[in-house]
């Protein structure tokens, strides 16, 4: 199984400041069709996960443009350009390139 | 509005069975793969099982293969997870999710399963 490792596990940030989360996979996520199926999910307190970013860098419907994704191969990054109060929660990366689909352990974003 | 609503969770003894349901609305259910994911504080998010649009293909994580069965009824816009021989380690919040392009683009609110004597 592909292991997804996120860093940091906790990220205290000041409102309006940027935040960055890294995700590394134990194998390349480039699938045979040439696509890389790395997505990012947000889980606000008491809520289910919600898709933010798919295929590395594509924002899902309704996701604010302060969220962006980048990376390739085995190294990926989620950036929040200016953290807002509603961004508090846990962020997960997920790979869908190889079965079984696997998730990172989560990064908690909290306000300083 | 696209919506997924899970039900059927509860307290069950080890070795017991439970059937989870997921009612889908707001999209053409029969044209999407569907997935069950579970979450625990200890292990985080874990993909459990997925099923093809017409139910002809099913995939399971190793720890549940042979004990859990995913199924669907496209006429009722419903997804199911039959869980047998339940163990303490199956205790989790179970989410129903709609598959996108090798991602999970809509999630239900979840239903809690507790396996304990």
Q: What are the pLDDT digits (tens) for B25-42?
A: 999 999 999 999 999 999
* B41-45, B71-75, B79-83: least confidently modelled range: B41-45
Is B59–A37 a contact, with Cβ atoms under 8 angstroms apart? Answer: no
Q: pLDDT of B16-28, one tens digit each? A: 999 999 999 999 9
Q: For residues A68 and A50, give the distance between their C-alpha atoms in angstroms, rounded to a whole number.
A: 15
Task: Kindly state the DSSP code that residue A101 receives in the 8-state scheme.
Answer: P
- Mean pLDDT (chain B, rounded): 97
Determine whether the interchain pair A100/B62 forms a contact, defined as Cβ–Cβ distance below 8 Å.
Answer: yes
Average pLDDT on B54-64 reads 96
pLDDT of residue B27: 97
Task: Give me the total of CB pairs closer than 8 Å, taking one residue from chain A and one from chain B.
Answer: 57
* B110 chain-A contacts, CB cut-off 8 A: 48
Q: Give the pLDDT mean for B96-102.
A: 95
- The nearest alpha carbon in chain B to A51 belongs to B105
Please judge whether A103 and B109 are an interchain contact, meaning their C-beta atoms are less than 8 angstroms apart. no
Section A8-17 average pLDDT? 96
pLDDT at position A53: 98
Beta carbons within 8 Å of B112's beta carbon, 6+ residues apart: B9, B10, B92, B93, B94
What distance, in Å, lies between the first and last C-alpha atoms of chain A? 36
| pLDDT tens-digit readout, A70-106 | 999 999 999 999 999 999 999 999 999 999 999 999 9
The Cα of A47 is separated from the nearest Cα of chain B by a number of Å equal to: 7
Of B61, B95, B105, the CB nearest to A60: B105
Distance of alpha carbon B68 from alpha carbon B85, whole angstroms: 8
- Is the CB of residue B70 less than 8 Å from the CB of residue B57? no
Q: How far apart, in whole angstroms, are the C-alpha atoms of residue B9 and residue B17? A: 11
Question: For testing the chain A interface, which of B33, B35, B45 should be mutated: the one with the most A CBs within 10 Å?
Answer: B45
What local confidence, expressed as pLDDT, does residue B1 receive? 94
Place B84 in a pLDDT band, splitting at 50, 70 and 90. very high
CB contact under 8 A, B46 and A35: no
Compare CB distances from B103 to A31, A37, A48 and report the shortest one's residue.
Answer: A37
pLDDT at A32: 94
Q: Collapsing DSSP states into helix, strand and coil, what is residue A85?
A: helix
């Amino acid at each position: 199984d592909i292991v997804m490792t996120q860093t940091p596990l906790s990220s205290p940030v000041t409102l309006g400041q940027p935040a960055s989360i890294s995700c590394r996979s134990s194998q390349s996520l480039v699938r045979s069709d040439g696509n890389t199926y790395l997505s990012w999910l947000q889980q606000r307190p008491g809520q289910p996960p919600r898709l933010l970013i798919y295929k590395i860098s594509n924002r899902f419907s309704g996701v604010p443009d302060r969220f962006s994704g980048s990376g390739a191969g085995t190294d990926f990054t989620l950036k929040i350009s200016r953290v807002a109060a509603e961004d508090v929660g846990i962020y997960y990366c997920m790979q869908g390139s190889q079965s079984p689909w696997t998730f990172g352990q989560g990064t908690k974003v909290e306000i300083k | 509005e696209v919506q997924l609503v899970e039900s059927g969770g509860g307290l069950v003894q080890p070795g017991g069975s439970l059937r989870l349901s997921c009612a889908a609305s707001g999209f053409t259910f029969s044209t999407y793969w569907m997935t069950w994911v579970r979450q625990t504080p200890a292990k985080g998010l874990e993909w459990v099982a997925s099923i093809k649009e017409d139910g002809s293909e099913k995939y399971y994580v190793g720890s549940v293969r042979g004990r859990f069965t995913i199924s669907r009824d496209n006429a009722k816009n419903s997804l199911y997870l039959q869980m047998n021989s339940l163990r303490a380690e199956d205790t989790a919040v179970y989410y129903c999710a709609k598959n996108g392009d090798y991602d999970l683009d809509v999630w239900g609110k979840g239903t809690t399963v507790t396996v304990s004597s």
